[in-house]
């Protein structure tokens, strides 16, 4: 029998449980014990809103913020806030950080572009609660390099696997030395699966 999050994913038409992904079992294994807790969650990437509906049902006390470049959706819930912004718009995202301060769970399911993913990790990880999770989805999704940066990054999966292999080296030109040091000092563990990575904060 499928776990609760997987069933909710099916109910709301969220692709996190479809054959190509199977993410919900991995999420459920880590987060089920936190279901009744009150915390802030940030998800980059709204799409059709199916994952937001799933998360709001799964976490009955969560404050959920969704960031996406799309038009403001019609999802109305007192525990939900939508921010219309690019995931690399640091100025706009800083407004969210000032309001919520920190997040127990951050999910990057937005552009799937390597440069965007790695910029967002470097920028957002300091605002993950100690013991919280930063998750990057769709690591094998093939996207062109971003034209918004002057550098090109290796695939995020490769960068993360190299970090694990070398016990702390981030070969990523988008991250500055201060960000790399922060990540090394505050990452407890990185668990990499076929298309998704779970990064636990110390």
Which residues are part of the catalytic machinery? 112
Q: Strands 128-136 and 197-201, how do they pair? A: antiparallel
Instruction: Report residue 89 as tokens.
Output: 């718009």
- Listed in sequence order, the residues at least 6 apart from 77 whose beta carbon sits closer than 8 Å to its beta carbon are 56, 64
Please write down the HEC assignment for all residues of 23-72.
CHHHHHHHHHHHCCCCCEEEEECCCCCHHHHHHHHHCCCCEEEEEECCCC
Q: Which residues pair with 190 in a beta bridge?
A: 199
Q: Measured over all CA atoms, what is the biggest interatomic distance in the chain, rounded to whole angstroms?
A: 48
């Amino acid at each position: 029998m499928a776990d609760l999050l997987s069933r909710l994913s099916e109910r709301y038409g969220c692709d996190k449980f479809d054959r190509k992904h199977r993410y919900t079992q991995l999420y459920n294994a880590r987060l089920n014990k936190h279901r009744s807790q009150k915390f802030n969650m940030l998800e980059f990437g709204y799409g059709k809103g199916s994952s937001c509906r799933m998360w709001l049902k799964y976490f009955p006390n969560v404050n959920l913020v969704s960031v996406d470049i799309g038009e403001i959706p019609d999802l109305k819930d007192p525990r939900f806030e939508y921010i219309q912004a690019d995931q690399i718009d640091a100025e706009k995202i800083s407004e969210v950080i000032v309001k919520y301060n920190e997040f127990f769970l951050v999910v990057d399911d937005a552009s799937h572009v390597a440069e965007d993913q790695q910029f967002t990790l470097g920028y957002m990880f300091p605002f993950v609660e100690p013991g919280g999770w930063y998750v990057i989805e769709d690591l094998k999704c093939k996207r062109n390099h971003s034209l918004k940066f002057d550098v090109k990054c290796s695939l995020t999966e490769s960068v993360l696997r190299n970090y694990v292999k070398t016990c702390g080296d981030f070969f990523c030109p988008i991250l500055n030395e201060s960000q790399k040091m922060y990540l090394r000092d505050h990452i407890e563990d990185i668990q990499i699966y076929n298309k998704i990575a779970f990064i636990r904060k110390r």
